[in-house]
Structure 1
């Protein structure tokens, strides 16, 4: 008869299982969007019983909500001097491209909310976070990191566009720059050029 695991061991195993499911869900949602993804496919990627998705997350929608929270936590770590912050944003995007693809699916309207109230709460939260990001760009202007001639909101939009370009338009990156969109070379070039562009160099 197998020995029963201690509660702390069961807790660690449960946390690992949840993490495997979340990683599998990012890959599945990133590849197929919310509408195209199936919990059976997520379970197969994670190597778990499909029922565990319902047990830990309440189903596909709950899993998507958990992923949204995780991405916001990642965004909160993107800070520091301008070149460092751009580098962190590029790393977050290019080292975990499925997360970026999930954002693109969301932007296209394919990542729904449980109900209208949840959608409105998320929209308010996103507007608030974007307003904070624009204010952060204004602070960089006051600190001399970003040219005061730029509209801070537009400067932020350009930054997001170039950081996401390897995911949203990889053929343009390849065709215009002659670089593999997911390569360290693009990452370094994008970081360098964005710092120059935003600084007015």
Structure 2
């Protein structure tokens, strides 16, 4: 007796296609994070995803389309950032978590910063520069309000926060050798957060006993 195969429904075809798209995007994220846009190859992405290379063109139009979709998703998630009214301590902790819990996304940022970008001119976009300027102004307000020390300039505070956030990805062996912890671990995040906040709180006020 011959068993008749059930016809695949449109919903099932759509679900299968979506799963394929997601596999391709996960593979592209790994490939771009490891090799940058220039070094990534669609054949390698297809191999990672376990799909025919032609499906990348079908679903995304090619390598550029993959990068565009990944960046759109990163922007939509807000990169795990807290609302602007959060304290600097909470904001920095959230940035550390968002960056180091998703290292492949962050490596894409590093590749772009090094100029490995298919867009005109590569590197940082005008929107990203504007975000940095806004961040510096928020730091300046925090200093005026007394939330953090005004001894360092807000520009240097911003630079230091970025350095602490991306050092585990750009210089993992150095971080491990200097601090003796896994660069992507919670131990590193705690050290980076606590030490930066110690610097930005400034010296503790002298006690009455010390003044006698």
For Structure 1 versus Structure 2, the TM-score category normalised by the shorter chain is 0.7 to 0.9
| Deviation for aligned residue 1:107 | 1.4
User: Which structure has the greater CA radius of gyration?
Assistant: 2
Say which of 3, 8, 15 aligns to 1:4. Answer: 8
Match of 1:16 in 2: 19
How much has 1:167 moved relative to structure 2?
0.6
In the alignment, which residue of structure 1 is the partner of 2:95? Answer: 89
What secondary structure sits across from 1:127 in the alignment?
A: helix
In structure 2, stretches of 5+ residues that fail to align are 204-212
Name the structure, 1 or 2, with higher relative contact order (CA <8 Å, separation 6+).
Answer: 1
Residue 6 (structure 1) shift: 4.1
More helix by share: 1
Question: Does the 8 Å CA contact 2:80/2:95 hold for their aligned counterparts?
Answer: no
Cα distance 1:151–1:75, how it changes in 2: closer, same or farther (>3 A)?
A: farther
Equivalent of residue 148 in structure 1, options 147, 150, 153: 150
- Is residue 110 of structure 1 aligned with residue 116 of structure 2? yes
Q: Structure 1, unaligned stretches of length 5 or more?
A: none
Closer/same/farther in 2, CA of residues 82 and 11 from structure 1, 3 Å limit: farther
**Structure 1 residue 100, shift from structure 2 partner:** 1.5
Give aligned pairs, total.
196
Q: Distance in 2 between matches of 1:167 and 1:128?
A: 24
- SS state at 2:125 partner: helix
Question: What's the offset of the Cα at 1:13?
Answer: 4.0
Match of 1:53 in 2: 56
RMSD value, Cα: 2.3
| Displacement of 1:74 | 4.0
TM-score (norm 1): 0.85
Aligned equivalents of 2:25 and 2:61: distance in 1?
A: 13
Q: Partners of 2:68 and 2:192 in 1: how far apart? A: 31
* Residues in 2 aligned to 1:29 and 1:193: alpha-carbon distance in whole angstroms: 32
TM-score by structure 2 length? 0.81
